[in-house]
Chains A and B, each alone.
Chain A
Amino acid sequence: MTERDRPQGHLGGVDRALPRGARPSGWRRETGGSPESSLDQAPPPDRDHDDLLAVDGLRITHGDVALVDDVSFRIAPGERVGLIGASGSGKSLTASAIMGLLPDGLSAAGSVTLRGRELVGASERELSRLRGKDLGMVFQEPMTALNPAMRVGRQVAEALTVHGTARRRATARARELLDRVGLPERTARAYPHELSGGQRQRVLLTIALANDPALLICDEPTTALDVTVQAQVLDLVAEGVRDRGSALLFITHDLAVIASVCERVLVCRDGRIVEEGPVETVLSAPEHDYTRRLVEAAL
Chain B
Amino acid sequence: MTSTPDSAAPDAAPGSGPIVSVRDLERTYRGGVHALRGVSLDVPRGGRFGIVGESGSGKSTLVRLLAALDRPTAGTVTFEGQRIDDRRESDLGFLRRRLQIVFQDPMGSLDPRMRVRDIISEPLGRTRDRDERVAELLDAVGLPSDAGAQYPHRFSGGQRQRISIARALAPRPDVLIADEAVSALDVLVRKQILDLLTRLVDEYALTLVFVSHDLGVVRKMCDEVAVMRRGEVVEHGPVDEVYDAPRHDYTRELIAAAPTLHGALRAPAGSATSEASAAGPESSEPEPPPEG
Contacts and interface: CB of A to CB of B under 8 A. Distances in A.
Q: Do chains A and B touch in the complex (CB under 8 A)?
A: yes
Interface of A: 4, 8-12, 14-15, 35, 80, 86-87, 182-184, 196-199, 226-232, 234-235, 238, 242, 253-257, 259-263, 279-280, 283-284, 293-299
A259 B285 contact: no
Contacts of B267: 260
Given A12-B144, A12-B159, A260-B259, A253 B268 contact: no
Contacts of A198: 285
B31 interface: no
A198 B284 CA distance: 11
Nearest to B259: A256
Contacts of A263: 269-270
B55 A299 contact: no
Interface residues of B, number: 55
Interface stretch (B10-18, B22-30, B91-99, B147-155): B147-155
A3 to B, nearest CB: 9
B274 interface: yes
Contacts of B7: none
Interface in B216-267: 216-217, 219-220, 253-254, 256-261, 263-265, 267
Interface of B: 54-55, 143-144, 147, 150, 153-159, 186-192, 213-217, 219-220, 253-254, 256-261, 263-265, 267-274, 276-277, 280, 282-283, 285-288
A262 B54 CA distance: 26
B162 to A, nearest CB: 9
Nearest to B154: A9
A284 B283 contact: no
Given A11-B144, A230-B257, A254-B259, A297 B154 contact: no
Nearest to B260: A256
Contacts of B215: 227
B274 A15 contact: no
A183 B283 contact: yes
| Minimum-distance CB pairs A-B, first 9 | A299-B216, A260-B272, A259-B264, A256-B259, A226-B54, A231-B276, A297-B191, A182-B282, A231-B257
Contacts of A294: 187-188
Contacts of A86: 186-189
A297 B187 contact: yes
Contacts, number: 152
B265 A284 contact: yes
A87 B157 contact: yes
Nearest to B194: A297
B157 A228 contact: no
B258 A11 contact: no
A214 to B, nearest CB: 18
- Indicate the member of A80, A184, A196, A199 with the most B CB atoms within 10 Å: A196
Contact of A232 (B157, B219, B268, B282): B282
Contacts of A196: 285-288
Contacts of B54: 226-229
Nearest to B282: A182
Contact of B217 (A253, A284, A299): A299
Contacts of B159: 10-12, 14
A9 B265 contact: no
Most buried by B among A14, A182, A228, A294: A228
B283 A255 contact: no
Given A256-B261, A260-B267, A234 B273 contact: yes
Contacts of B276: 228, 231-232, 235
Contact of B156 (A10, A229, A253): A10
